[in-house]
Amino acid sequence: MTRDFSVSQPDVPVLHRVADGQDFYFVFNRSEESRSLGMSFRARGKPERWDAWTGATEPIGRYRSDDRGTHLTLALGPYEATVVAFTAAADAPHVVASDLDEVTAVVPEGGGFRVDGWSRTAGAKSATVVRADATRQARGTASAPPPAVALDGPWDFELAATLDNRWGDFRWPPAPVVLGAEARQFRYAEETEPDPGWENPDLDDTSWRTESYSFGPYLWKLGPLPPGADVAGLEREIARLKTIGGSASVHVGEQVVSWERYAFSKRWGIERDPLLLHL
């Protein structure tokens, strides 16, 4: 059986829907790194990238089709998602092979085709263009990339507001506003003595834990307990304790169980919990 979707690397969830005879795949790069992903879809037609936020569509000019479906490569940034839609125009001109780093468009021109794209290196480049049963070669020369711009010395920048909160994704209640930049992670430590001097500008806080906002330790927990553990005896031992947490431990029969911080968010639950990431 041909798989409906396959990908060259792990952690790429996908959803597939069919509407009005068109195939739509929602693809998510569940990784902290940008990746170039080889993908195979059990669908035929002309593939396009659809932006669910702006409604913009972009044709995918480089792909290959066979009796098992459509094969292409997409670059996705950290935690980036995209919709790949397949239209009915299966005979649209497209690139099946090229030494360009990315093909951005295949445009009919002068009885042939012009291939637009970019390359990290200069020199002669080629592309194999297929339309229906006809195959043609496109050749050209890529210019050298522009030199790097040195950002030395003082310079200015501006943070643009980009967080669309119309559905309450970033702040409650929902409102038709665009939020600006917000700090999401902070270095954190608990004071254990009065006036520790943490307000001093030369404070070294590099050893502090990094915590995400809304997440934090709410309680201490013990476990997991072995099967058939003496729970009543454990409760009696805990009742005799004057302090809990930290480096203290509790004996459960012959096993020693240590305390562990239990951190979560009252809104989002456990941070980076695999169950939440799959929802």
**End of a domain among 121, 142, 163?**
142
Is 195 domain-assigned? yes
Task: Tell me which amino acid residue 86 is.
Answer: F
Are residues 55 and 121 located together in one domain of the fold?
Answer: yes
- Is residue 166 included in any domain, yes or no? no
Q: What is the mean pLDDT of each run of 10 residues along the chain (279 residues)?
A: 92 92 93 93 92 86 89 92 85 84 84 86 90 84 88 89 89 91 88 90 92 88 80 83 77 78 86 61
**Contact (Cβ atoms closer than 8 angstroms) between residue 97 and residue 72:** no
Residue 121 within a domain: yes
Residue 274 has a pLDDT of 64
243 in a domain, yes or no?
yes
Residue 176 domain flag: no
Residue 125: how many other CB atoms lie within 10 Å:
19
Do 137 and 190 fall into the same domain? no
In a domain, 41, yes or no: yes
The two three-digit tokens of residue 11, written as one number: 């952690």
Confidence at residue 160, expressed as pLDDT on a 0 to 100 scale: 92
pLDDT digits 0-9 by tens, 34-90? 999 999 999 988 899 998 878 889 889 889 888 899 999 999 999 999 999 998 765
Domain that holds residue 239: 183-278
Note whether 44 and 106 are same-domain residues. yes
Distance CA 119, CA 250 (A): 62
Q: Is 204 in the same domain as 137?
A: no
**Cα–Cα distance, 238 to 152 (Å, whole number):** 60
Of 82, 117, 142, which residue constitutes the final position of a domain? 142
The pLDDT of residue 276: 52
Q: Which pLDDT score, from 0 to 100, does residue 192 have? A: 86
pLDDT in tens, 247-260: 777 877 777 788 88
Q: Which helix (H) or strand (E) holds 40?
A: strand 35-41
**Residue 126 and residue 139 in contact, taking contact as beta carbons nearer than 8 Å:** yes
| 17 and 93 both lie in a single domain | yes
Query: What distance separates the 2 farthest-apart alpha carbons in the chain?
Result: 89
Say whether 238 sits in a helix, a strand or coil. helix
Residues 114, 13 share a domain: yes
Q: What is the pLDDT of residue 38?
A: 94
Domain identity same for 124 and 251:
no
Our count of domains for the chain comes to 2
Among 68, 74, 65, 4, CA closest to 38: 74
Retrieve residue 138's tokens: 């496109």
Q: 269 has which bridge partners?
A: 265
Calpha distance 138→169 (Å, rounded): 46
Is 108 a domain residue? yes
Select from 93, 111, 142 the last residue of a domain: 142
* Cα 59 from Cα 86, distance rounded (Å): 10
Q: What is the pLDDT of residue 228?
A: 80
CATH of the domain at 47: 2.60.40.1180
